[in-house]
Every structure is written in structure tokens, then in C-alpha cells.
Amino acid sequence: MQRKLLTNGNAFKRTDGRWCGVVWYMDEHGERKRKSFSGTTKQAVNRKMTEYVSEFENQIIDSDESKKKLKNSMQNWLQVFKFPSVEPTTYDRCECSAKNQIYPLLGDKAVGDITSADIKNFLNHWMNEGYAYTTVKKAYVVLNEYFRYLYREELIPKNPMANVEMIKKSNFLSAQNKENLPTNEAVTIFTAEEIEKFKEECFKCWGNGKRLYQQSAAYILMLNTGLRTGELLGLLNSDIDLENKTLTVRQGVKEVSRRNGTEFTSGREIKIGKPKSTASKRTVPLNKTAIEMIEELRKEAYFGENTPLVADENGGYTKPVNFRKRYYRILKAAGIETKGLHSLRHTFATNLVNGIKQPDGSIKSLTPRQVADLLGHSTSQITELYYVRKDTSRLNGITEGFEM
């Protein structure tokens, strides 16, 4: 229960000539209480009561979450409740959504004044601005969690998100004149021709024989193991067993905003943590090319068994941002359209599931379950939906003999 004033104060004169006043209020437990004042004049007592009433009302406003600006209330919720309960990278994404999408449109509104219509207009605004569906959905999720918390704690009487569903992806993309492709049709992979161009560019050398690009063998290693970027950069030399042709994923590198407590400070820093999930802890077999790439990386820079395979110039962990920038430079130089680093992982999965044509004309392939285990997925459905691009050319002629 919230404190509230019952009177604005009443001044009266005592028999001894002094003036007194009383302000009645209800405390947090619903009990009726009073605050007494005294002075030599009526004006002095009235002034004290006025000051007290003003301070009391300001305290009510400060403690009333519904009267606060959303950006102040939400930032406090993020720091107090969200920050301790999620990974640093997850928190960075939540705060990024708040600062870049939520605060510009809703930040200056009082929390209790925000309506379902405001939320709907918020979603429509960013959709019409051409923002990606996933970007807008992340902002929606943050708003949903925040208002659900306020409503559950009885800090607001009504949840404005209760009647607002996230825009359907098909409608969202249609409004942007984009096609709503099946998930696996939107998977980005390298073609066989692009792989050859990419490998050729990766291994270009200067006149003195030194490689044009540092750590270029690491990208080909990803292409042959399906490792995530963080997993590769977190891989230690001691995690690799060349005799048994395996590597073991035990940890990952993450790049997060540098903070003093919960407060953001300039720059970013490296964090070493557990793999993405339990299934991500795995042993990955190494083919001939993968082994060659590991040897190439060790020839380029080796600082010891307990140091990263893909090390920076000091033997420390390579920053993901630097690793990505170099990758994009290689793509541009090779004349390949921009694809995310994850496309190397997608290409690995797609080729294993769709299969590679052998010299005798047969197709060598793995089951989605086998590929899921190699990628560190808990289910093969994830692999098929989000990592494998269907090869419909394999269906050519498949209905021959089924005439009806």
C-alpha cells in the first residue's frame, strides 16, 4: 500500500499562546497517523505544514513507479533485475534495444500513461522505418518483460502489453515489401565457386612470402568444423588432439561492453565463459583440411599449449570484432557478397546434410541428427530449420515412375 495524505494540515492556538498544527496521513500499512508542528505564530506553523505536505507529495511521486518517466524506470529495472540474471552479452542486447528503440519513442512518457495504442504505434513506427523483424521483436520482448514485472509487483493497475501481440512476421515483411521466405530458405551459405574464391584470397601472400591476411587459416578451419566464432577464438592448443584427429569445445570468447558495475563505460572487453549450451560442449572430429589449418595457425603463431590457437600478437585471445573485420576484408577482396561469419557454419551444415557428390557419382551425406551433434545442437530440428539450405535440384526427376 502507498502512503497518502488525509489532510493538508490544520493550525490552532494552544492555551499557552503557542500555535500548533497537525497533518494526518495514512502509512504503508494503512494505519492513520499524524505529524505535529508548533511555532510562535500561525504563519510559522502554516509554513512548516506547507513544506511538509510538499515534501510528502514529492516522496509519493518519487516512490510511485507509474509517475516516473519510462526511461528512468526501465533503466533501473534493467540494472537491478535484469543485469544479475543474464549473461553480459544478453544484457548488452537488452540495453541496446532500450536505448536505441524504446527510449527515443516512449522514454519521456510517464509509465502509467502508456497505453496499448502507444505500444502498437511503437511497433508500427520501427516496422515502417525498415528495421529488421528480429530487431523490433527484441524491443517488444524487453517491453513485455518490463511491464509484466510492474504489473506482477502491483506497481501499475493494468499491463498495456496484455492486448498487444508482436506483429506477425509475414505481415511485418509484407509491409516492407519483403518476401517471407521459409527459415531454411533464408540461410546464407557459400557456393562451391565462392568457397574456391574465398580460399584463394585467404592464402594470398606478399612478395616476401608472408601471408596477406593474419589468421586466415582460421576461417577455413571454421568451414571444416562448423565451430561458432566464440568457440574457435576460445579454443586452446591443449584442446586439440591431432593424434586422434579431434578437438574439444570447452569454452567460448564473448565481447561485451566495458562496465563499472552496471554503468557503461567506453569500449568493449573480452570475457571467457562456458559454451552456449550443454550440447555445445562436444568433441569435433578433424578432417585432413582442418588439421592442415591448425598446423598453419601454429606455424604463424604459437605461444604454448595453454594459449589460444587463434592468438593475438601477445598470445592472448583475439577480439571477435578484429576477427570479423579481417573476414569482411577477405570477402570484399575476393568479390564475394557480404555474408556473416555464421555463414561458414551454415555452409558446413548444409554440405553435410545435402551431401557431396563423390567421383563415382554417389552422394556422401550425414543425417541431420549427426550434424546436430557436430554443431552442438540439442535437436536436429534446429539444424534443419536454421542451418541447412535445401537443395531442391536433388528432386529433379524424382517423380519419374510415379505417374498416376
pLDDT(168) > 80: yes
| 130 dihedral zone (left: phi>0; alpha: psi -120 to 50; beta) | left
State residue 224's pLDDT score. Answer: 96
- H-run or E-run covering 216: helix 216-225
pLDDT(186) > 80: no
Compute how many other C-beta atoms are within 10 angstroms of the C-beta atom of residue 190.
Answer: 22
Strand partners for 363: 357
Contact 346, 184 (CB under 8 A): no
How many residues are given for the chain? 404
pLDDT digits (tens, 9 = 90+) for 302-314: 999 999 999 999 9
**Long-range contacts, 96-104 (Cβ 8 Å, 24+):** 97/135, 97/138, 97/139, 97/142, 98/71, 98/74, 98/139, 98/142, 101/126, 101/131, 101/135, 101/136, 101/139, 102/70, 102/71, 102/74, 102/139, 102/142, 102/143, 103/70, 103/71, 103/74
Mean pLDDT check: name the lowest of 147-156, 244-253, 378-387.
378-387
**Which domains, ranges and CATH numbers included, belong to the chain?**
4-63 (no CATH), 70-175 (1.10.150.130), 192-386 (1.10.443.10)
- Average pLDDT (390-399) is 60
pLDDT(396) > 70: no
- Average pLDDT (316-323) is 94
Instruction: Return the percentage of the chain with pLDDT > 70, whole number.
Output: 94
pLDDT(108) > 80: yes
> Does residue 342 sit in helix, strand or coil?
helix
Instruction: Return the percentage of the chain with pLDDT > 90, whole number.
Output: 65
Three-state SS for 120-162 is: HHHHHHHHHCCCCHHHHHHHHHHHHHHHHHHHHCCCCCCCCCC
State residue 400's pLDDT score. Answer: 67
Report, in this order, helix, strand and coil percent for the chain, each rounded to 5: 50, 15, 35
pLDDT(352) > 70: yes
CA separation (Å) from 5 to 50, 175, 275, 355? 12, 51, 55, 75
pLDDT(160) > 90: yes
State residue 161's pLDDT score. Answer: 96
State residue 234's pLDDT score. Answer: 96
Interatomic CA distance for residues 56 and 46, integer angstroms: 15
pLDDT(173) > 60: yes
Cα-only R_g, the chain:
31
State residue 391's pLDDT score. Answer: 66
State residue 403's pLDDT score. Answer: 65
> Average pLDDT of the chain?
89
Residue 252: Cβ-neighbour burial (10 angstroms; 0-12, 13-18, 19+): buried
pLDDT(346) > 70: yes
State residue 63's pLDDT score. Answer: 63
pLDDT digits (tens, 9 = 90+) for 200-220: 999 999 988 888 999 999 999
Alpha helices in 5-87 (DSSP H): 42-63, 70-77
Mean pLDDT check: name the lowest of 19-33, 99-113, 176-190, 334-348.
176-190
pLDDT digits (tens, 9 = 90+) for 359-387: 887 778 889 899 999 999 988 888 887 77
State residue 212's pLDDT score. Answer: 93
pLDDT(395) > 60: no
Contact 68, 104 (CB under 8 A): no
pLDDT digits (tens, 9 = 90+) for 31-50: 899 999 999 999 999 999 99
Mean pLDDT check: name the lowest of 43-47, 185-189, 280-284.
185-189
